[in-house]
């Protein structure tokens, strides 16, 4: 087919399609050499120029190229690198999971590789296909398959919300064409043509694979980031079609910046009079000698647990949040004193670097996720998004409201990967905070010196209180509940955190 209506018609957006999305694309589409040679020069000039402009733009571009035609995917990605400025394309060919990737939630490697603003990345190789393969081989069951699709869909949702331009291409050949190529490769002497063992496997499972592929395409298709199924009988048609789709998407986005989101939130609801924080019993106390006994016992227990975790390769994540002067530093010291330095890493969350600012706010936390046997202790965390950034008005309301879902999804993936996870809010009242500020003014430790800013933050106590309340309500999930720790008494708080972490580690290590 080399019609005047051109290749754009054959781009199959799944939205609204019935059964058989692949059949609809099996049209034997071709483009003549003359037409290819005629269109290519202008296309390349446009692509190079759009790619050049992108480098100054405020959004990243992610192009996904996968499909059943594996040699075709490979050739196409090579072509895209040739037609755009290869120096500014990061092509990630995801293969079998490497050691450090297996130790972390599945999406870790996709988060790590994300482009920043003005950058362009191509994801290819096993992206999405590994999930099909594992289902076909029975490594995962149907419910795990669906869960993976959920995580893929929410990953893409997050990217779109962050303004990433996502373009997804599925490079397709019909079973008949596939059979023809298999036959040809078998009849060829020597290297078996361009098909390898994996292609033979893919062909052998073509029908089952097709059903699973359709499910992936349907589940992760959306109006913002539709899948394009591109037929690959003819390389010229395939390459030109994809390149033109990229050109039009890039130009559209470069010339028509996203309209700022309308504030979708109903006018703010007045905070409830009685909140979840009121239920925290701030009178909880622990006597000096009882504290010493319990703390020592718990530290011995924690030490043994972390040694076991190291031996078994179980990583863990601890999040510490709380009011200024609530005693996070003291809690962390009691934790780490029980452990070997090789078994933990503390991550103090400070202002982001320029590289971090160019990415989604969760990017740096994904990047930090621990490998086998390590405990990662976050001193403040991703919750800054719905606390300080919300209260100080650093991000629009839509952004921090969205964060609740994004955070729940992030923690879900951590927990599902079998990583013990706990998060603490160290709670004190305002009188106690002011008392501690005054104490600190007389301390010899510079790091505890109080500035005017601390007192100013304290004056926003009620705003922070509302934010904490909503955070706890919206992110206390079955898989990752908040532990609210009464911290007016430091001894009580330290023992409480130690005990909770020990319990969660014990539960996880017993399961193995």
Footprint of its own copies (CB under 8 A) = 45, 48-49, 52-53, 74, 77-78, 81-82, 85-88, 90-91, 93, 98-100, 122, 124-125, 329, 332-333, 336-337, 340-342, 345-346, 348, 353-355, 379, 444-447
Query: At closest approach, how far in Å is the CB of 263 from its own copies?
Result: 33
Structure tokens at 13: 């957006």
- Closer Cβ to its own copies, 230 or 403, answer by number: 230
442's tokens: 């007389």
- Residues 6 or more apart whose CB falls under 8 angstroms from that of 211 comprise none
- With respect to its own copies, which residue has the nearer C-beta, 193 or 329? 329
Least gap, CB of 70 to its own copies (angstroms) = 12
Q: Which region holds residue 380: left if phi is over 0, alpha if psi is between -120 and 50, else beta?
A: left
Helical H segments across 84-123, by residue range: 99-102, 108-112
- What residue spans of 417-460 are helical by DSSP H? 430-440, 452-459
**Token code pair at residue 93:** 């060919």
Which CB, 116 or 396, lies closer to its own copies?
A: 116
In the complex with its own copies, the residue whose CB is nearer, 49 or 275, is: 49
**Shortest Å, Cβ 413 to its own copies:** 23
Q: Give the angle subtended at the CA of 93 by the CAs of 366 and 122, to the nearest 5°.
A: 75
Q: Return the residue matching tokens 């009242």.
A: 429
Residue 96: φ, ψ to 5° = -60, 150
Residue 332 CB contacts under 8 Å (≥ 6 apart), including other chains: 320, 346, 377, 379
Work out how close the CB of 121 gets to its own copies at its nearest, in angstroms, rounded to a whole number: 12
Return the number of other C-beta atoms located less than 10 Å from residue 476's C-beta: 15
When the beta carbons of 23 and 355 are compared against its own copies, the nearer one is 355
Which is closer to its own copies, CB of 231 or CB of 343? 343
- In order of 70, 123, 224, 300, the CA distances from 74 in angstroms are 6, 11, 26, 54
**CA–CA dist 209, 450 (Å, integer):** 62
Task: Provide the strand spans (E) within 17-119.
Answer: 61-67, 89-94
Give the separation between CA 342 and CA 23, rounded to whole angstroms. Answer: 55
**What is the closest distance, in whole angstroms, from the C-beta atom of residue 178 to its own copies in the complex?**
21
- The distance of closest approach from Cβ of residue 151 to its own copies in the complex, given in angstroms and rounded to an integer, is 25
DSSP 23: G
Please identify, using beta-carbon distances, which residue of 176 and 333 lies nearer to its own copies: 333
Q: CA nearest 132: which of 47, 9, 216, 23?
A: 216
Please report, for residues 39, 190, 300, 331, the alpha-carbon distance to residue 377 in angstroms, rounded to integers and kept in the order given: 56, 56, 19, 11
Give 124 or 131: the residue with its C-beta nearer to its own copies: 124
- With respect to its own copies, which residue has the nearer C-beta, 74 or 275? 74
Question: 165 forms bridges with which residues in the sheet?
Answer: 61
Q: Cα separation of 170 and 228, whole Å?
A: 6
Q: State which residue, 41 or 260, has the beta carbon closest to its own copies.
A: 41
To its own copies, the closest distance from the beta carbon of 224 in angstroms equals 26
Q: How far is the CB of 486 from its own copies (least distance, A)?
A: 24
Closest CB to its own copies among 274 and 447? 447
Element (H, E) at 318: strand 316-322
Residue the block writes with tokens 């013990």:
420
Shortest spacing between CB 443 and its own copies, in angstroms: 9
Give whichever of 312 and 462 is closer to its own copies, judged by the CB atom.
312
Output the smallest distance, CB 42 to its own copies, in A: 9
Q: Least distance to its own copies from the beta carbon of 353, Å?
A: 5
Q: Least separation, in Å, of the C-beta of 214 and its own copies?
A: 27
Q: What is the 3-state secondary structure (H, E, C) of 6-42?
A: CHHHHCECCCCCCCCCCHHHCCCCCCCHHHHHHHHHH
């Amino acid at each position: 087919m080399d019609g005047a209506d051109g290749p754009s018609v054959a781009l199959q957006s799944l939205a609204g399609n019935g059964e058989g999305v692949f059949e609809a694309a099996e049209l034997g589409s071709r483009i003549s050499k003359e037409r290819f040679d005629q269109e290519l020069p202008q296309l390349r000039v446009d692509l190079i120029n759009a790619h050049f402009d992108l480098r100054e733009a405020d959004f990243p571009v992610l192009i996904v190229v996968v499909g059943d035609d594996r040699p075709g995917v490979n050739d196409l990605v090579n072509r895209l690198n040739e037609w755009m400025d290869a120096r500014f394309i990061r092509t990630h060919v995801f293969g079998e999971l490497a050691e450090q990737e297996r130790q972390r939630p599945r999406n870790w490697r996709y988060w790590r590789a994300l482009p920043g603003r003005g950058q362009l990345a191509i994801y290819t190789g096993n992206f999405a296909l590994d999930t099909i393969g594992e289902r076909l081989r029975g490594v995962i069951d149907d419910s795990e398959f669906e869960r993976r699709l959920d995580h893929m869909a929410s990953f893409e949702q997050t990217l779109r919300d962050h303004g990433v331009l996502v373009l997804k291409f599925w490079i397709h050949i019909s079973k008949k064409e596939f059979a023809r190529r298999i036959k040809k490769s078998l009849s060829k002497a020597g290297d078996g043509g361009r098909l390898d063992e994996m292609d033979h496997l893919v062909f052998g499972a073509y029908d089952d694979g097709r059903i699973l592929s359709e499910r992936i395409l349907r589940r992760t298709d959306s109006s913002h980031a539709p899948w394009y199924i591109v037929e690959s009988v003819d390389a010229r048609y395939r390459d030109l079609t994809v390149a033109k789709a990229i050109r039009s998407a890039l130009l559209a986005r470069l010339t028509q910046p996203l309209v700022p989101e309308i504030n979708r939130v109903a006018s703010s609801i007045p905070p409830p009079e009685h909140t979840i924080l009121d239920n925290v019993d701030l009178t909880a106390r622990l006597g000096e000698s009882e504290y010493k006994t319990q703390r020592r016992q718990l530290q011995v227990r924690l030490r043994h647990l972390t040694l076991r975790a190291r031996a078994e390769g179980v990583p863990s994540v601890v999040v510490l949040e709380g009011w200024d002067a609530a005693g996070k530093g003291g809690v962390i010291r009691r934790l780490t004193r029980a452990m070997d330095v090789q078994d933990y890493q503390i991550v103090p969350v400070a202002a982001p670097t320029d590289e971090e600012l160019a990415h989604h706010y969760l990017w740096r936390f994904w990047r930090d996720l621990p490998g086998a046997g390590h405990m990662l202790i976050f001193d403040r965390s991703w919750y800054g998004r719905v606390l300080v950034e919300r209260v100080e008005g650093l991000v629009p309301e839509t952004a921090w409201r969205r964060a609740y879902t994004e955070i729940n999804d992030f923690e879900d993936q951590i927990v599902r990967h079998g990583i013990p996870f706990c998060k603490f809010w160290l709670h004190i009242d305002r009188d106690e905070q002011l008392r501690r500020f005054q104490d600190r003014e007389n301390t010899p430790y510079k790091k505890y010196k109080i500035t005017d800013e601390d007192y100013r933050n304290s004056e926003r106590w009620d705003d922070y209180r509302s934010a904490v309340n909503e955070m706890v309500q919206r992110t206390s999930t079955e898989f990752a509940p908040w532990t609210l720790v009464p911290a007016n008494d430091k001894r009580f708080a330290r023992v409480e955190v130690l005990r909770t972490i020990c319990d969660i580690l014990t539960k996880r290590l017993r399961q193995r």
